[in-house]
Amino acid sequence: MLVKLIVCLTGMPGAGKSTIADGLKSKGYDVINMGNVVRTEAKNRNLEPTGSNLGKLMIELREKNGQGAIAELVVPQIENAKSKVVIIDGIRSNAE
């Protein structure tokens, strides 16, 4: 199994997380966006990806699977990433 360095970007809205992630992606690093993971889960459940629906889905997932539930959804993407360094854009809590 390939050992990977996972770099997590966190910060307030507008702080520049996605800007940094885009720059690192252009350098060849794999970038996983936590919001996209939730949007994919909503799509799998046939939910419209509205702010309200996504917020409710995040709460539901965390209530059912614990505070790290969203991060758990990212694990397969990390395992399948091609680069040795994986950037996680948009960590929302300490548990993630």
Tally: H helices and E strands in the chain: 4, 3
Residue 74: pLDDT over 90: yes
- Residue 54 is given by DSSP the state H
- Residue 36 is given by DSSP the state H
Please say whether the dihedral angle defined by the alpha carbons of residues 57, 79, 8 and 29, taken in this order, is positive or negative.
negative
Quickly count: other Cβ atoms within 10 Å of residue 96's Cβ.
Answer: 18
Superfamily the domain 5-89 falls into: P-loop containing nucleotide triphosphate hydrolases (3.40.50.300)
Tell me the pLDDT tens digit for each residue of 26-66: 999 999 999 999 999 999 999 999 999 999 999 999 999 99
For helices 69-80 and 34-44, the axis angle rounded to 10 degrees is 100
**pLDDT class for 96, splitting at 50, 70, 90?**
confident
Residue 1: pLDDT over 70: no
What pLDDT, on a 0 to 100 scale, did the predictor assign at position 90? Answer: 87
Q: Where are the domains of the chain?
A: 5-89
